[in-house]
């Protein structure tokens, strides 16, 4: 998408919606909550969009920075209402999710594992596989080197393959 001309924000919405939604889904593991936080993200994007300037960075960097803040704010608000050990052991709506569809159960299981990682590593995975950003874009967003992003992702995925029982012959 070129930024030389005024952005068509409706197109931006449809382009980014699946990526924002999946980024949030890989962060929170709950489809309903992911919809809520996706809505919050886009309302913020919409409200502030006149301030976006292509000269100050890529559109994806700007939008995903907002999405990251929305997720962080959500956890900050929730933290005061939960005991520390509750978070890792009980996924949001885990039992409900399991009753609905297998795919939703799977993302819940994945996010349960991701939550045991440092926040930054969880972000890496959500940005790579949820938001479908490449390593260079992730590096820009998180202030890391591109090689560092690749190395850390490789290590994380290796661990996930093991704990999730992914076929090692694949």
Residues that bind other proteins (CB under 8 A): 10, 13-14, 17-18, 21-22, 25-26, 31, 35, 38-39, 42-44, 46-48, 50-51, 66, 69, 72-73, 76-77, 80, 103, 106-107, 110, 125, 128-130, 132, 150, 153-154, 157, 160-161, 164, 166, 170
Given the complex with other proteins, which of 58 and 113 has the nearer CB atom? 113
Beta-strand runs (E) in 28-75: none
Classify 87 as helix, strand or coil: helix
| Least distance from other proteins to the Cβ atom of residue 88, Å | 19
| Least distance from other proteins to the Cβ atom of residue 134, Å | 12
H or E element, residue 106: helix 102-114
| Least distance from other proteins to the Cβ atom of residue 58, Å | 17
Please name the residues in contact with 36: beta carbons below 8 A apart, sequence gap of 6 or more. none
| Least distance from other proteins to the Cβ atom of residue 94, Å | 15
Tokens standing for residue 56: 């100050």
- Between CA 138 and CA 133 the distance in angstroms is 6
């Amino acid at each position: 998408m070129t930024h030389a001309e005024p952005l068509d924000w409706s197109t931006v919405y449809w382009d980014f919606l699946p990526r924002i939604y999946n980024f949030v889904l890989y962060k929170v593991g709950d489809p309903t909550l992911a919809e809520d936080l996706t809505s919050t993200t886009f309302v913020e994007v919409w409200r502030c969009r006149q301030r976006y300037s292509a000269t100050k960075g890529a559109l994806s960097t700007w939008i995903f920075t907002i999405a990251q803040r929305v997720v962080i704010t959500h956890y900050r608000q929730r933290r005061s209402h939960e005991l520390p050990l509750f978070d890792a052991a009980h996924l949001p709506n885990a039992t409900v999710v399991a009753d609905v569809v297998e795919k939703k159960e799977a993302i819940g299981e994945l996010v349960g594992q991701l939550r045991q990682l440092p926040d930054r590593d969880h972000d890496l995975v959500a940005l790579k596989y949820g938001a479908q950003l490449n390593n260079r874009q992730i590096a820009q967003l998180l202030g890391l080197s591109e090689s560092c992003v690749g190395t850390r992702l490789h290590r994380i995925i290796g661990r996930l393959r093991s704990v999730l029982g992914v076929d090692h012959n694949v």
